[in-house]
Each structure stands twice: as structure tokens, then as C-alpha cells.
Amino acid sequence: MTPVLTVEGLTKSFDMHHLGQRLHAFSGISFTLHPGEFLLLKGANGVGKSTLLRTLYRSYLPRAGHIWYHAPEGRIDLARAADVDVALLRRREIGFVTQFLIARPRVAAEEVVAEPLRRAGVAAPEALEQARRWLAEFGVKRDLWRAYPTTFSGGEQQKVNLARALILPQRLLLLDEPTASLDAGARAALVRRLDELKAQGVAMIGVFHHPGDVAGLIDREIELTVQEAMDDVAV
């Protein structure tokens, strides 16, 4: 089976210019991820779990290593790909789920959730119907569907964020603490949706505040350790 992702020797560090030092996040990370596989990232706070996810998503550039994404059109190294290619893959194939919602002001919650489907060519009425279904699934009250999510509480915003991020299946899904502010009902809805996506062949890498919630989905684990080294750099 062709993998979805092959990571080789991935290393990330940050130059702290005001200190004249380089802070190491992680070093030499290597693994392969196949369709329908769920990989859990473990480790104490501050070891670089979220940083690794953001590097895989190419929000951060790695210091060294390769992130081979096996797209239907061929293999591409996300560590070195052009920004336009990364943006295209994010729209079509690679999803990132975070605990924070970034929504445009004065756009209704149901429209925020329906947007990925409309971009994929789904007719507006059907996209809106599916958006309402997922808002209900995650426990967002019907009275809030036409309201602006920028006015919601943190927990309600996170439910909207999950509905939007998971409404359209991707080939690769990166999950960064998606349950941090959720109540038990919403966490259960998330696990049901992830189970559906896994059965459809979606490959997933996740960091979870409540890892026990997804225990039945996990195929493998990677435990990151603290990188304490800090080197002097030219400033």
C-alpha cells in the first residue's frame, strides 16, 4: 500500500535573535503513515508536539529533513515545495484541526461550516444542509446557527471549528488538541466522526488533551522528548 506521508530525519529549531541563541524543538523524526492509520503524538508540555504538526502542515519550515507527501499526481516534499503548491494541497487534501477558530466577522456559523463544501463544488443548499447537520452533531444550539461565531464562547467556537474542519474528508488530517475546550458530548461526537473518516481511509496525526477519548482509534504512537540543547548563533 502506498503511504500518504513519509517523514525522514525531520528537524526543527528556532533562532532566538534577541538572545543570540538557537532553541531546538525536535530532531531526527522519521515515520511513515498509511491510509486509514491514526498516529498519536505523545510527550510532556513543551516538547514540540504542536510544532511538529505545524511543520508537517508547512506553517513552519524545518531546519532539515524531508516531508514526502504522496499525492495522487506524485510525490512532493512539503519541506521544500513552493507556497502555491502547499496552498493547493491544503485546500484539496490536507486538513488541520486546531482548538482555535479563526472566522471572518459577520459571517453566520452555518455559512462558516458550509464554506469548504461550496469550494469543493457542492451546491449551496446541500452544503448548508450538511453544515446544519454537523453543527447539531457537535452540539451547537439551533438558535446559534445563523449567529456570528466570533461572538460565541470558546467552547462553542471550537465546535464550529470542528464542524468546518471535518465536514469535507481529506487524505491527511492533522489534529492539534481538538478536544481541549469541549464538553463530553462534543468529544464523543468528534470521536465518532474521526472513526468514520478513518474507515474511509483518511490518515490522521493527532495531539490530544484527552488521549483516552481516541484510544480505540490509535494505531501507533510517537513520544517526543524535551530538546534542551541551545546553541549560540550569529546575530
Cell, residue 171? 487524505
C-alpha–C-alpha distance, residues 178 and 214, integer Å? 11
In order of 72, 172, 220, the CA distances from 2 in angstroms are 10, 13, 18
Percent of the chain whose pLDDT exceeds 70: 95
Where does 23-123 have alpha helices with state H?
A: 49-56, 83-92, 109-119
Mean pLDDT of the chain: 90
Which H or E run contains 129?
A: helix 124-137
pLDDT tens, residue by residue, 16-41: 777 778 788 899 999 999 999 999 99
Point out which residues pair with 6 in neighbouring strands: 32, 68
Q: Is residue 3's pLDDT more than 50? A: yes
pLDDT tens, residue by residue, 112-133: 999 999 988 999 999 999 999 9
Q: What predicted TM-score, i.e. pTM, was given to this entire model? A: 0.89
Q: What's the pLDDT at 227?
A: 62
Q: What are phi and psi of 48, to 5 degrees?
A: 110, 20
Q: What's the pLDDT at 209?
A: 80
Range with the lowest mean pLDDT among 15-24, 40-49, 61-70, 225-234? 225-234
In order of 54, 63, 81, 179, 190, the CA distances from 176 in angstroms are 9, 21, 23, 9, 13
- The answer to whether 109 touches 68, Cβ cutoff 8 Å, is no
Confidence of residue 232 (pLDDT cuts 50, 70, 90): low
Averaged pLDDT, 83-110: 87
Return all residues near 149 (Cβ < 8 A) that are at least 6 apart: 101, 103, 107, 109, 112, 156, 157, 160
Strand order in the sheet with 203-207: 94-98, 172-176, 203-207, 38-42, 220-223
